[in-house]
A and B are shown apart, each in its own frame.
Chain A
Amino acid sequence: MLVLSRQVNQSIMIGDAVEITVVDIKGDKVRIGINAPSDVSVHRKEVWLAIQEENRQAADPAPEGLDQINRMLEKDNKPKD
Chain B
Amino acid sequence: MTATMIETERFGKVETPLEQVYTFPEGLPGFPTCKRFALMRRGNGPMWWLQSCDNPRLAFVVADPRRFLPGYRVMATREDVSPIGLESPDDSMVLVILNVPADPSRTTANLRGPLVLNTERRLARQLVLQDDFWPLRYSVFGD
Interface residues of A (CB under 8 A from B): 38-39, 41, 43-44, 47-48, 50-63, 65-74, 76-77
Which residue from chain B places its CB closest to the CB of A43 in the assembled complex? B128
Tell me whether chain B's interface is mostly helix, strand or loop, or mixed: loop
Q: Which of B43-59 contact A (CB under 8 A)?
A: 43-47, 49, 57-59
Let me know if B97 and A66 touch, CB within 8 A: no
Number of A-B residue pairs having CB atoms within 8 Å of each other in the complex:
117
Interface residues of B (CB under 8 A from A): 10, 26, 28-31, 42-47, 49, 57-61, 63, 67-68, 78-79, 82-83, 97-100, 102, 104-105, 107, 110, 112-113, 126, 128, 130, 132, 136-137, 140-141
A66 in contact with B100 given A52-B30, A54-B110, A59-B59 (CB within 8 Å) = yes
The distance in angstroms between the C-alpha atoms of A76 and B45, with both chains bound, is 12
Let me know if B45 and A54 touch, CB within 8 A: no
Point out the residue from A52, A57, A62 that lies within 8 Å of B29, measured CB to CB.
A52
A58 in contact with B136 given A73-B46, A73-B67, A77-B67 (CB within 8 Å) = no
Measured between beta carbons, the chain B residues less than 8 angstroms from A52 are 29-30
The distance in angstroms between the C-alpha atoms of A72 and B45, with both chains bound, is 10
Let me know if B110 and A73 touch, CB within 8 A: no
Measured between beta carbons, the chain A residues less than 8 angstroms from B132 are 47
Question: From residue A43, how far is it (CB to closest CB) to chain B in Å?
Answer: 5
Measured between beta carbons, the chain A residues less than 8 angstroms from B79 are 38
Let me know if B61 and A41 touch, CB within 8 A: no
